[in-house]
Amino acid sequence: MNDNSFTRLVERLRDHEPCLFPMGIWNESLDRDIAELVTSGMAEDKSKFDLAYGMAVKSGLHIWNDSLHRSHIISQDVLTPTGSYWHGIMHRMEGDYDKAKRWFESAGSHPVMERLQAFKYEVLRKDDWYHVGCGELQMNLRQFYLQRSWDPYLFIDMVQGTVTSGHEIHMEKALSDLQKQEIIMLLEYSYRNACGGQIVEPFNR
């Protein structure tokens, strides 16, 4: 596969919102195509291709497709902050929240988090955040909104509370929107660092 194939994979994923706690792969056929992606084909100049970021791209595509096992196989071998970030998302989505926090600690203050910090206000204002959730969930969301930096640990706590409560529909929608954009931004970052490429149109919301 080549860069055009990567673009087509993204296009097929664009309208899918990854689940906070997926019960299975979203699209099996698409997942096989992602597995067959030759990431070095994304780079026009192969001498400038970064393999670790290329692997991160593939891990991210699987995550977007709710394919946790395949993403995990890849991300656990990407020993970079970006690999740790994908690894953390995978454990969060599988419901191993303590392990997710450990991997986010390894990821550190990732550049993507600064962009997410700005985006969260747009999402939470749109979803009328101060009427979303109740009790501890609402308090966590209020704290999350008011913080001046992206807090991956508090985000994990909100996901855990929403998944385990099973009835916070508006909360789930707000967190799902944030998770999708998190995945998109991290995939953009991985792609750009793998081959210097820019993907614009497929990532517009």
- pLDDT tens per residue, range 164-185: 887 677 788 889 999 999 999 9
Kindly report which listed range (70-79, 100-109, 148-157, 191-200) carries the lowest average pLDDT score.
191-200
pTM of this structure: 0.89
Are 172 and 179 in contact by the 8 Å Cβ rule? The answer is no
Question: pLDDT tens-digit profile of 89-98?
Answer: 999 999 999 9
**What is the three-class DSSP state of 61?**
helix
Please say whether the dihedral angle defined by the alpha carbons of residues 55, 188, 61 and 157, taken in this order, is positive or negative. positive
Structure tokens at 151: 């807090």
The amino acid occupying position 87 is H
> Where are the alpha helices (H) located in 14-50, listed in sequence order?
28-36
The per-residue pLDDT for 133 is 55
